[in-house]
């Protein structure tokens, strides 16, 4: 079966697409991306994903090149499964081969790419490792420069864990590909947004659902030590939804099972994805 995809104005199977090697995305990771979950043919929080994509583009000074609604709509229509992910990527484009290397941007036309990806079946819960956050300081940009994320994810896999929870100066920032929540002495906490955190769309939705159900939370520092002694930990992300963490490094979280607040929020989240 072929994979529906889009490149610079053309809708074609992924298998037929190719990018020139002088594309700055290939050479320098000079680009940004988005991953949008689609439930029963409906994009979840599309406006938030597109706002974040526009913010990422503006932050690296790439002019917004495309009609996203049209591209996302056509990729969903072409998807063999109504539950899927739509991946979008924009790079600064192909630079002339005699352009000065690296030093400055060239007068390029952005490369715009999209494809459908299978949603996959997330596990019921996961284990996490912890790791120093060695990424750059502008993590609010959803950059394709993902080397440290790849290394962190690989390290988690090698330790039979599903995520690496990152920390700077003893404070949790986020997961390698997720945002982090914990219940500390009965209060839900998640690190406040800032330059070292991606403003997760699922994080925002989780906070909205908590507010709608009258559940209090705090966006504030969460130390590594606090997280280790907490009652519940969960991750949020477009591909995982609300994902309970039942073990961090070698120690169980709470009694090592999915906690009641996590279960409750996951129920609200699933209902939202099905009914909007
Ligand atoms: C570093 C990072 N933080 C958080 C998230 C979660 O963001 P979202 O909920 O928008 O998928 C992701 C998703 O890929 C991520 O890569």
pLDDT tens digits, 30-49: 999 999 999 999 999 999 99
Average pLDDT for residues 60-87, to the nearest whole number? Answer: 95
* Ligand 1 atom 5, closest CA: 178
Q: What are phi and psi of 29, to 5 degrees?
A: 55, 40
Look at the alpha carbons of 114, 115, 119, 125 in this order and tell me if their dihedral is positive or negative: negative
- The torsion angle over the Cα atoms of residues 172, 176, 179 and 184, rounded to 10 degrees, is -40
Say whether pLDDT at 144 is over 80: yes
Q: Which of 93, 94, 91, 53 is nearest to 72 (CA)?
A: 53
Pocket of ligand 1 (CB under 6 A): 35, 174, 177-179, 198, 200-203, 236-238
Cα 157 to averaged position of ligand 1 atoms, centre (Å): 18
The pLDDT, as a whole number, for residue 275 is 87
Q: Where in the chain is the domain with CATH 3.20.10.10?
A: 126-275
Look at the alpha carbons of 254, 157, 169, 204 in this order and tell me if their dihedral is positive or negative: negative
Report which of residues 73 and 64 the model is more confident about. 73
In 25-177, beta strands by DSSP E: 31-39, 42-43, 84-91, 111-118, 126-132, 163-168, 171-175
The pLDDT, as a whole number, for residue 65 is 81
The atom number, within ligand 1, closest to the CA of 238 reads 11
Q: Where in the chain is the domain with CATH 3.30.470.10?
A: 4-118
- Compute the mean pLDDT over every residue in the chain, rounded to the nearest whole number: 96
Cα 153 to averaged position of ligand 1 atoms, centre (Å): 13
CATH number corresponding to 4-118 = 3.30.470.10
* Ligand 1 atom 3, closest CA: 178
Measured between alpha carbons, how far is 44 from 223 in angstroms, rounded to an integer?
A: 31
Name the architecture of domain 126-275.
Answer: Alpha-Beta Barrel (3.20)
Read off the pLDDT band of 126 (50, 70, 90).
very high
The string over 116-137, giving b where at least 16 C-beta atoms fall within 10 Å of a residue's C-beta and e elsewhere, is bbebeeeeebbbbbbbebebee
Cα 198 to averaged position of ligand 1 atoms, centre (Å): 6
Give every strand in the sheet of 111-118, ordered side by side: 10-13, 4-7, 111-118, 84-91, 31-39, 42-43
Q: Which of 271, 263, 185 is nearest to 220 (CA)?
A: 185
Cα 237 to averaged position of ligand 1 atoms, centre (Å): 5
Read off the pLDDT band of 224 (50, 70, 90).
very high
Which one from 117, 142, 204, 247 is the annotated catalytic residue?
A: 142
The answer to whether 103 is a known catalytic residue is: no
The atom number, within ligand 1, closest to the CA of 203 reads 9
The pLDDT, as a whole number, for residue 105 is 80
Asked if residue 273 lies in contact with residue 210, where contact means CB atoms within 8 angstroms, the answer is no
Q: What are phi and psi of 179, to 5 degrees?
A: -100, 160
């Amino acid at each position: 079966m072929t994979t529906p995809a889009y490149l610079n104005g053309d809708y074609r199977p992924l298998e037929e697409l190719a990018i020139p090697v002088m594309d700055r995305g290939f050479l320098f990771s000079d680009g940004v991306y988005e991953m949008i979950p689609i439930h029963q043919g409906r994009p979840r929080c599309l406006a938030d994903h597109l706002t974040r994509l526009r913010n990422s583009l503006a932050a690296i000074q790439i002019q917004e090149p495309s009609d996203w609604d049209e591209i996302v709509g056509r990729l969903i229509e072409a998807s063999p499964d109504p539950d899927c992910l739509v991946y979008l990527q924009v790079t600064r484009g192909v630079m002339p081969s005699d352009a000065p290397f690296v030093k400055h941007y060239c007068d390029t036309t952005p490369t715009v790419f999209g494809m459908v990806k299978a949603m996959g079946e997330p596990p019921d819960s996961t284990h996490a490792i912890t790791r120093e956050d060695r990424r750059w300081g502008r993590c609010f940009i959803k950059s394709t420069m993902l080397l440290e994320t790849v290394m962190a994810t690989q390290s988690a896999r090698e330790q039979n864990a599903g995520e690496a929870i990152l920390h700077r100066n003893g404070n949790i920032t986020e997961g390698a590909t997720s945002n982090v929540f914990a219940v500390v002495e009965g209060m839900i906490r998640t690190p406040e947004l800032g330059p070292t955190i991606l403003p997760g769309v699922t994080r925002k939705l989780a906070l909205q659902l908590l507010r709608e159900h009258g559940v209090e939370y705090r966006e504030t520092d969460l130390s590594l030590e606090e997280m280790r002694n907490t009652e519940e930990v969960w991750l949020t992300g477009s591909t995982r939804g609300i994902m309970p963490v039942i073990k961090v490094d070698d120690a169980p979280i709470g009694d090592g099972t999915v906690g009641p607040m996590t279960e409750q929020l996951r129920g609200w989240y699933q209902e939202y994805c099905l009914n909007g």
